[in-house]
Amino acid sequence: MIRNFNLLITTTRGNEDDACSEIWYLLSEIGDKAPTVDKTGISGLIAAKTAFNPFEVIEKFREILKQRPYEFRYTLRIIPIERTLRTDLNEIRRVATEMGTKIKENESFRITVEKRFTQLSTRDIIEAAATNIERKVNLTSPDKILLIEIVGGTTGMSVIKPDDILSVSKEKFG
């Protein structure tokens, strides 16, 4: 599995190989000369490393989706990842503290945890991440989301706006 991924992609179980090919092709389409796309070992989840800013990739993919929706056959969601780190509560606390500075004083936030193949409890992860972020919490409609994606021993983290995740079916048929 790619350890320093900057995109996580979901697909339906059993379509991981096809989704890898699709994402590799789409990254090549937007000009990435050497994207890396691979299965994570978890059903329905693949990881990618692109030379481009993951948020810009989402926007470019969104344009392709509007113009040529048939290019997305296997991809369900594309999630931008800003930092990867070892899955460890102290590391999560340290990186969350650094990333928390991206949430302005007048903005609200929430923490969203998606965990796979870890014994850490969601509560412990959220407590570690939130410890040093002194911003207003809004669980229903936050300005920003501190996203924590745990894939076994590797964790991906991002501070995103609610619409920064590309949800293919919602935007295709929505």
Q: What residues does each domain of the chain span?
A: 7-81+163-173, 83-160
Point out which residues pair with 78 in neighbouring strands. Answer: 9, 166
State the pLDDT at residue 14.
97
Antiparallel, parallel or unpaired: β 136-137 and 108-116 = parallel
Closest C-alpha to 60, from 48, 68, 17: 68
**Does domain 7-81+163-173 bear CATH number 3.75.10.10?**
no
Same fold for the pair 7-81+163-173 and 83-160: yes
State the pLDDT at residue 25.
98
**Distance linking the first and last C-alpha atoms of the chain:** 32
Neighbours of 28 (CB within 10 A): 12
Kindly give the confidence (pLDDT) of every residue in the chain, 174 residues in length, as a single tens digit, with 9 standing for 90 and above: 898 999 999 999 999 999 999 999 999 999 999 999 999 999 999 999 999 999 999 999 999 999 999 999 999 999 999 999 999 999 999 999 999 999 999 999 999 999 999 999 999 999 999 999 999 999 999 999 999 999 999 999 999 999 999 999 999 877
State the pLDDT at residue 52.
98
Is the overall model pTM greater than 0.85, yes or no?
yes
DSSP 8-state symbol, 54: H
Return the CATH architecture of domain 83-160: 2-Layer Sandwich (3.30)
